[in-house]
């Protein structure tokens, strides 16, 4: 029996939802905030529409991007996922956003560098080879990232512009700005499926966004309480 899966991705300027039956996408909702004039609250309305169409109790699993990415938006997406999971007793699988970007089924057997803008002169990044992550999740300056990138690499993700603005880029490095390489709810579900099929789920009571670096609030708290 096919399993209905709700996918949620809110880490980047484009937020998206999807309803899948295993690999097949039944419904999809995707909006770019600054162009379409949508705020984070709109994702709750879109989720309600999807759940009303199938019944929340019929969702077999939830797949959500966990970050790194936009701080507030990640919390919005995770809060939505947790709320649905708690109300309907639905299991949840959280997927790292860099993995969603770096594992590109349309670009097999290539070296990929996934980047997300961390702002304040930094990017989140990870390296991938033939669909497998081959580095830790990193927080580096764009300049340092360009020094670390190997030969014949393709850099993709919502942090590409930050890398492009860091200075000269070697001729063997390709920067791809195509929106098709941004994280999507369908990408979340695709990576989550192997875990869902093995019933490898996260404990929602302890699940938090994966930020890598501290939020402004955390930095200010540390500064105010420093000895």
- In the structure, what pLDDT confidence band is assigned to residue 38 with cuts at 50, 70 and 90? low
| The most confident of 25-34, 70-79, 106-115, by mean pLDDT | 70-79
User: Does 104-179 match 4-98+182-224 at the fold level?
Assistant: yes
Dihedral angle of Cα 121, 127, 133, 136, to the nearest 10 degrees: -50
The average pLDDT across 115-134 equals 95
Nearest to 96 by CA among 128, 120, 119: 128
Rounded to 10 degrees, what is the CA torsion of 164, 166, 171, 177?
A: -10
- Residue tagged 């057997």 (tokens): 109
Structure tokens at 192: 């989550």
Residue pair 116/12 in contact (Cβ under 8 Å)? The answer is: yes
pTM of the full predicted structure?
A: 0.90
Q: State the Cα–Cα distance between residues 98 and 23, nearest whole angstrom.
A: 21
With cut-offs at 50, 70 and 90, classify the pLDDT of residue 84: very high
Contacts of 214 (CB under 8 A, 6+ apart): 222
Mean pLDDT of 109-138: 94
Does the pLDDT of residue 179 top 70, yes or no?
Answer: yes
For the domain spanning 4-98+182-224, the CATH number is 3.30.420.40
Please compute Rg for the chain using Cα positions. 18
Residue 225 per-residue DSSP state: T
- List the chain domain ranges: 4-98+182-224, 104-179
Average pLDDT over residues 91-101: 97
Thinking of the domain 104-179, which architecture would CATH place it in? 2-Layer Sandwich (3.30)
The model's pLDDT over 144-171, given as tens digits with 9 standing for 90+, comes to: 999 999 888 899 999 999 999 988 899 9
Is 70 exceeded by the pLDDT of residue 226? no
């Amino acid at each position: 029996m096919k399993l209905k899966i709700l996918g949620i991705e809110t880490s980047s300027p484009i937020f998206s939802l999807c309803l899948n039956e295993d690999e097949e996408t039944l419904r999809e909702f995707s909006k770019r905030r600054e162009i379409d004039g949508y705020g984070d609250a709109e994702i709750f309305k879109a989720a309600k529409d999807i759940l009303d169409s199938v019944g929340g109790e019929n969702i077999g699993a939830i797949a959500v991007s966990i970050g790194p990415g936009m701080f507030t938006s990640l919390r919005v997406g995770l809060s939505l996922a947790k709320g649905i999971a708690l109300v309907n007793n639905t299991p949840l699988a959280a997927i790292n956003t860099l993995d969603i970007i770096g594992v590109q089924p349309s670009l097999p057997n290539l070296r990929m560098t996934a980047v997300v803008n961390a702002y304040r002169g930094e990017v989140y990044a990870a390296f991938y080879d033939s669909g497998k992550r081959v580095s830790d999740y990193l927080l580096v300056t764009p300049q340092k990232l360009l020094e670390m990138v190997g030969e014949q690499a393709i850099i993709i993700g919502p942090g590409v512009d930050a890398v492009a603005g860091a200075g000269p880029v070697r001729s063997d490095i390709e920067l791809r700005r195509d929106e098709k390489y941004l994280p999507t709810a369908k990408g979340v579900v695709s990576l989550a499926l192997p875990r869902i099929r093995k019933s490898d789920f996260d404990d929602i009571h302890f699940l938090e966004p994966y930020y890598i670096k501290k939020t402004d609030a955390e930095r200010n708290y540390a500064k105010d309480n420093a000895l």
